[in-house]
Chain A
Amino acid sequence: MTQQDDGSGVARYLVLFEEDAADEGTRAMTNVAGIRAVHSGEIATQTGDGLTYLPGGVLWADLGVAVVTAATDQINALRGTLANRGPIAMIEPDRMVYAISTPASHPASIDSEEATFTWGLRAINAPASAASGAGVRIAVLDTGIDIDHPDFVDRELVARSFVDGEDANDGHGHGTHVIGTACGPRRPDLGPGYGVASSAEIYAGKVLNNAGAGTDGDILAGIAWAVQNGCTVVSMSLGAPVQPGQPPSVTFERAARRAMNKGTLIVAAAGNESARSDGLIAPVSHPANCPTIMAIGAIDQEFKVGDFSAGTLPDSGAVDIVGPGVDVHSSWPMPQRHHTLSGTSMATPHAAGVAALTAEVHQGTAWELWARLSQSAARLPLPSTDVGAGLVQAP
């Protein structure tokens, strides 16, 4: 929604004051242009709609910004002061109505919260966590990463390809998305914060090719690389469907135990083969069905199980914990930059990121991390066969 000059010559403008010059600038607006701005603290009882059409405006002193409603001659008079290097730094047309129409005394709406952090980060309590994964290494084994992505400049990033004939650059997008959730920024230049362990060291192992295909051999090579490099967590948003009752891979189970003995926890996507709305619950995929690999299911914004999310079936692998996995906003290869996707692939890096935060806070690894993730998970009023211990929570 936009608001332009309505024909009366009156329109809304943003006035930016110089540093620490909000009071002086407010006086200048009154003296030069006859615009009287009300301090934002004084308008708590007024409605936004009324303010929008009032002559005058609202001052946010902490931000050094006023939103004013002014006639053309008033704004021209104010613009005349810009050349004098006074308290007013800039004047620009205000095209957005929603910001001022939210009364300051009311809780921020869902939308404005989403503008700061994704629903997923809020659901796992990441914004309130002092931990950021500093000093912790996370390996994400996937389709690689968009190495030049602007949200990852200045990050410690090691990328390695295990795919024949392809470098570690992400030609699919999936890898860039899941790495964003596990390790991306909490305060990106554009859009909401979406990364859980925003200071972790990123080990991006490409084990799926640009067409999204891969084999066990490349994934094991990626796990070995992560263990050798002292990664505390390996995040694998990948899986191959299995039949109900099919036993887990003994080789992957042994490999996961060896990784655990060396201090590396592996988390993997539970799988997307369910169609719960049609009454179908699929078993946990390989390799998440291995007992020593933590299987991550997905919930949505209403804390309901994702329609696609695998479940715990008799004589099959167990869902150990869940993360946000429906409508997840994260990074995507440029030029698109960001993208919203669903799947247990999206839930998994939320859990991996929380594992990194937990490792930073408690200095624990492997089974201790597993225990802490389970112990601290938020219990959900849902079957344990669907959500395990519950929703992962940042320490």
Chain B
Amino acid sequence: MASLRKVIVSVDTEEPETMADIAAQLSEHGLDVDSVLDTLSTITGTCDESNLGSLTTVPGVLDVETQYTYQLPPPTGRVQ
């Protein structure tokens, strides 16, 4: 069974058209793109664990990281 991972991809440009091209190529490599953040040269999305390696082969990609998840204590918790 496929294991989906939310990932963040760091790229070497902030030029919007180039970023859109990179995002399109990442899609072809199995990334379901959530957002293309030109300002931060970062693309976020979801992909199957087995495709993680191939994302790094896309030209312009610097790093691929699995996203951290965050969880606050419930509102009744004294330490936040």
Complex Cα gap A286–B10 (Å): 17
**Contact B80 A240, beta carbon cutoff 8 Å:** no
**Contact A258 B80, beta carbon cutoff 8 Å:** no
Question: A43 in the interface, Cβ–Cβ < 8 Å?
Answer: no
Q: Which of B1-47 contact A (CB under 8 A)?
A: 6, 8-10, 14, 34-35, 37-42, 44-45
**Contact B67 A217, beta carbon cutoff 8 Å:** yes
Question: B74 in the interface, Cβ–Cβ < 8 Å?
Answer: yes
Complex Cα gap A330–B67 (Å): 31
By a CB distance below 8 angstroms, the chain B residues around A123 are: none
Count CB-based A-B contacts (< 8 Å): 114
Having A212-B72, A249-B68, one finds 5 other A-B pairs with CB under 8 Å, namely A224-B37, A227-B40, A254-B41, A272-B79, A341-B78
- Of A237, A240, A249, A258, the contact of B39 (CB 8 Å cutoff): A258
Q: Which of B44-69 contact A (CB under 8 A)?
A: 44-45, 62-63, 65, 67-69
The residue in chain A whose Cβ has the minimal distance to the Cβ of B71 is A213
By a CB distance below 8 angstroms, the chain B residues around A213 are: 69-72
**Contact B74 A212, beta carbon cutoff 8 Å:** yes
By a CB distance below 8 angstroms, the chain A residues around B37 are: 220-221, 224, 255
Sampled A-B contacts (14; CB under 8 Å): A212-B71, A214-B69, A215-B70, A216-B68, A227-B39, A240-B70, A251-B9, A251-B65, A255-B40, A255-B42, A258-B14, A262-B39, A287-B68, A308-B79
Q: Is the interface of B mostly helix, strand, loop or mixed?
A: strand
Question: A83 in the interface, Cβ–Cβ < 8 Å?
Answer: no
Using known A-B contacts A174-B75, A220-B37, determine if residue A286 contacts B68 with beta carbons closer than 8 Å.
yes
Complex Cα gap A279–B40 (Å): 39
* Chain A interface residues (CB < 8 Å from chain B): 143, 172-174, 177, 208, 212-217, 219-221, 223-224, 227-228, 237-240, 249-251, 254-255, 258-259, 262, 272, 286-287, 308, 341-343, 345-346
**Contact B80 A237, beta carbon cutoff 8 Å:** yes
**Contact B40 A214, beta carbon cutoff 8 Å:** no
Using known A-B contacts A208-B70, A258-B40, A343-B80, determine if residue A217 contacts B75 with beta carbons closer than 8 Å.
no
Complex Cα gap A217–B70 (Å): 11
**Contact A217 B6, beta carbon cutoff 8 Å:** yes
By a CB distance below 8 angstroms, the chain B residues around A224 are: 37-40, 42
Complex Cα gap A106–B61 (Å): 67
By a CB distance below 8 angstroms, the chain A residues around B38 are: 224
The residue in chain A whose Cβ has the minimal distance to the Cβ of B10 is A251
Complex Cα gap A213–B42 (Å): 21
By a CB distance below 8 angstroms, the chain B residues around A219 are: 70
By a CB distance below 8 angstroms, the chain B residues around A308 are: 79
Using known A-B contacts A224-B37, A272-B79, A345-B80, determine if residue A217 contacts B74 with beta carbons closer than 8 Å.
no
